[in-house]
Structures are given as structure tokens and as C-alpha cells.
Structure 1
Amino acid sequence: MPDFSNPVFWYAVAQIIVIDLVLSGDNAVVIALACRNLAPAQRRVGILWGVLGAVGLRVVLTAFAALLMDWPWLKIVGGILLLWIGVKLLVPEQEGEHEIHGAGNVWGAVKTIIVADFVMSLDNVVAVAGASHGSIPLLVFGLLVSIPIIVFASQIIMKAMERMPIIVTLGAGLLGWVAGAMIFSDPAMRPLVAGQPAWLHYVASAVGALVVVLIGWLIARRRQAGYRVLEEG
């Protein structure tokens, strides 16, 4: 059972919720696009079963990833992947990414939602597994809290991100923070960090956050400069 009186538990839950909000905002858009051609009554059924299927798949995948986090080198690999995901979050998407076609029937929409969520959720699975530190109760609780927020408030969240880009930057920085902590806590790193001061853990997290924000900013700036050259040409 999770210890609800432990501040560390709520800190980890907050991390999971923020990660879900930042990385899963477009999942609700996928749901809307997949069901847009259905009649209103069918649309509600399609959304319900699509969300349930996607959530179930997400929980299973993330729990499986969390259970593997004690394997040597796996956190290092996951942390590096998470650094890349954080950088990618700061780089504007090109047109046509995540293109979803509306389905003509309920089960077609459900299949589209589940498949799209599976393809788009790799980043979410790795990040949430890292934030849960291998605790399945914490993992499930965090997902159960955050997923309804995503489904019902995704449009508000996405508009807020568009108006206040700092939210995306902070979210990407959080991914870097989790990545730094994952790499530092990998079993393969224990011989290297044994006897080191406890605060070094936070230094590794801060370095991860700084790397993501700095590299993401540089790539985004270079891409925007390239767009301006193309427009002027």
C-alpha cells in the first residue's frame, strides 16, 4: 500500500501528473480525431472504450517498464532516451506528424485510439516509469489521477501551453530532471557514486534538466532560422 502520509510519495505523484499532462495532451486530440466521423451516440461509446483500452495498455506497459528498472544499464538507456524525448518536446513538430484519420465505425475508432496511443506513449511510459522509481502502487495511483485530467481538460492544457511556452519548457526540464536521476541511480553506477555526498543526486538531476533545455533551445533556434531562410528565399 502506498504511504499517503509520506511527502516523497506526493512529490513522485506530482512528477507523474506533470509528465502526463505535458506528454499526453495530444492523446486527447487523437481521441477526438479518431471519433469525429461517428454519430454523437457512437462517439461517446468510441471515446469510452478507446480511453479504457488506451489506459489499460498504458498501465500494463508502464508497470512492465517499472519492474525492469532494477536491471543494470537499463536506467542509463532509459535516461538517455528521456533526455532525447525532452529535447524533442522543445523542438516544433513538422506538419503532418501524428496525422489521424477518422474511423467510420465504433470499433474502428477504438482500434485507432489504442494503436495511436501505443505508438505515441513510448515517451510517457519511460518517463512515468522513471518517476515512479519502480513502485507499482505509486505508478497506478499517479496514472489514475492524471488520465481523467488529460481526457477532460486536454484542450485547456494545450491552449495554455500555446499561450505560455514556459509550461512546455518546464515540462521538458522535468523530463531532464527525471532522466538525470535515472542515470545516477542505475545499479551500474553504484561503484562510481559509492561514498559520494547525497546531494550529488540532485546535481545529476539538475544537469539533466539543463542539458535538455539548452540543447532543445539551440535546435529550435536553428530550425526557426532555417525556416526564415526558406521563406526569404
Structure 2
Amino acid sequence: MPDLASPAFWIAVLQIIAIDILLGGDNAVVIALACRRLPEAQRNKGIFWGVFGAIALRVVLIYFALQLLAVPYLKIVGGLLLFWIGIKLILPEHEDAHGNVQSSSTLLGAIRTIIVADAVMSVDNVIAVAGAAHGSIVLVVFGIAVSIPVVVWGSKLVLTLMDRFPVVITAGGGLLGWIGGGMLLTDPGFPVHWRDVVPHSTSIASGAGALLVVVAGKWLAQRRHARVAHDGLATAKAATVDRGDPT
């Protein structure tokens, strides 16, 4: 049983809540799309049972992820995946991630759509929360339970804040890098306990992971922006030539 008076417990809870908000902030969009064809009287039921089923499935998936992270070298894989997830979070999106979410005219159909869509979209969330939980399913359940109302009812506000203040996205990517860096040194496959050899080695690895994700994410974002600008300029020039305008 975790120590509720321990600062480490509450830091981990805050990390899980932040992960759920950052990586699950668009769940409300999925729910709205899945339930938009339901009669008004059934929409609240669709939302409630869809969210309930999606959260229950996520807890089960995270439980199995916690067991897998005890297998040697899988924490290294998980840490590297978190680096990539953090970098993707920082990169700008170019397409609508919800274009394939189908609405349903029946309550059971809408619930099924919400659960399936959440399961497909929650792979990154599952890995990140499992890394932040340090093997504690109590932390997982508590963190997700606290974040549910924020994700479902406050996600529009969260998405607005992320749009207006890009530093929130950058900080979220850094958080995932921090967790990933710490995971690398706690893998049970390592014959050496780095914390016993190098003072503050976990903090150093976490900080290096956060820095790596932020720097790599910003660099790739700049390259993508430059490429899009270049392609747009080339398209404009081609259109000008096609019209026969002198340049």
C-alpha cells in the first residue's frame, strides 16, 4: 500500500493527471462524435457508459503494462517509446485525428464506438501512465479517477489553453521525456544499480530525457515548418507560371 503522506506519491499522481490531460484531452471530441446521432434523451447515458467502459478498459491495459515492465529490458523499450511519444506531442499536427470516428444511432453502438476508439488512441497514454506509476495499480486508479472529470468535461478548456500557450505542450513533452529517462535506469535487466554507483543518476537520466525530447521535438517542428513553407512557395510559383504571369 503506497504511503499517502509521501511527497513521491502525490508527485506521481500529478504526473498521471498531467499525462491523462495532455494525451487524453481529445477524448471529449471522440465522445461527442460517437454520440451525435443519438436521441437527446440517450446522449447522457451514452457518454456515461462509454466513458465508464473506456476507463475500465484502460485500467486493465495499464495493469498488464505494469506487469510487462517487470520483464527485463522492456522498461528500456518503454522509455524509448515515451521519448518518441513526447516528440510527437511537440510536433504540430496536420490531419484530423478524429476523421474515422463513426457516430451511431443506437446507445450500444455509441458505447462500443467510444470504447474501441479510446482503446486505439490510448496506447501512448497506457505506456506513459505505467511508467509514471512505478508499479502501483493504486496510483493508476487514483490518478485516472481524479483526471476523469477534467478530461471529459474540461478537455475543451485544456485544448484551448494548449492552443494559446504552446509552452504547455512543450512542458508535456518534457514530462514524458523525464519519465522515459527515469525508466531506462530502473530496468530489471541492468546488472548494475546505477543509483548505487552514480549519485542522483535517476534525476540526471530523467533530466537528460526531458531535454532530449524538447530539443528533438523543437528541431523536427522547425524542419517541418520550413518544409511546409517551401512546398507552399513552390506551389505558388507553379500556379503563377501556369497563369502565364511574368516573375
Name the residue aligned to 2:10.
10
Are residue 36 (structure 1) and residue 36 (structure 2) matched? yes
How high is the TM-score relative to the length of structure 1? 0.96
Instruction: Give the SS at the match of 2:37.
Output: coil
Separation (CA, whole Å) in 2 of partners of 1:141 and 1:147: 10
Name the residue aligned to 1:146.
147
The residue type equivalent to 1:48 in the other structure is F
Separation (CA, whole Å) in 1 of partners of 2:176 and 2:196: 27
Name the residue aligned to 1:163.
164
Instruction: Give the SS at the match of 1:104.
Output: coil
TM-superposed CA distance for 1:62, in Å, is 0.6
TM-superposed CA distance for 1:109, in Å, is 1.1
Separation (CA, whole Å) in 2 of partners of 1:105 and 1:165: 38
TM-superposed CA distance for 1:192, in Å, is 6.4
Separation (CA, whole Å) in 1 of partners of 2:133 and 2:199: 20
User: Unaligned regions of 5+ residues in structure 2, if any?
Assistant: 235-247
Separation (CA, whole Å) in 2 of partners of 1:194 and 1:86: 25
The residue type equivalent to 1:23 in the other structure is L
The residue type equivalent to 1:19 in the other structure is I
Tell me the matched-pair count.
Answer: 233
User: Unaligned regions of 5+ residues in structure 1, if any?
Assistant: none
Name the residue aligned to 2:132.
131
Name the residue aligned to 2:182.
181
The residue type equivalent to 1:212 in the other structure is V
Are residue 84 (structure 1) and residue 84 (structure 2) matched? yes
Instruction: Give the SS at the match of 1:101.
Output: coil
The residue type equivalent to 1:97 in the other structure is A
The residue type equivalent to 1:14 in the other structure is L
TM-superposed CA distance for 1:67, in Å, is 2.2
- Tell me if the contact between 2:91 and 2:218 (Cα under 8 Å) persists in the aligned partners: yes
TM-superposed CA distance for 1:68, in Å, is 2.2
Separation (CA, whole Å) in 2 of partners of 1:212 and 1:181: 13
Separation (CA, whole Å) in 2 of partners of 1:43 and 1:87: 36
Question: 4+ runs of 1 displaced by more than 2 Å?
Answer: 192-195
Separation (CA, whole Å) in 1 of partners of 2:81 and 2:74: 10
Separation (CA, whole Å) in 2 of partners of 1:205 and 1:131: 12
- Tell me if the contact between 2:173 and 2:210 (Cα under 8 Å) persists in the aligned partners: yes
Instruction: Give the SS at the match of 1:124.
Output: helix
Separation (CA, whole Å) in 2 of partners of 1:35 and 1:231: 37
Separation (CA, whole Å) in 2 of partners of 1:3 and 1:57: 26
Instruction: Give the SS at the match of 2:224.
Output: helix
Name the residue aligned to 1:219.
220
Name the residue aligned to 1:62.
62
1:79-116 Cα offsets, whole Å, 9 max, x none, are 11111100111111222333223222211111111111
Name the residue aligned to 1:73.
73
TM-superposed CA distance for 1:197, in Å, is 2.6
Instruction: Give the SS at the match of 2:72.
Output: coil
Sequence identity (%): 52
Separation (CA, whole Å) in 2 of partners of 1:227 and 1:37: 37
**Greater alpha carbon shift after TM alignment, 175-184 vs 66-75:** 66-75
Instruction: Give the SS at the match of 1:126.
Output: helix
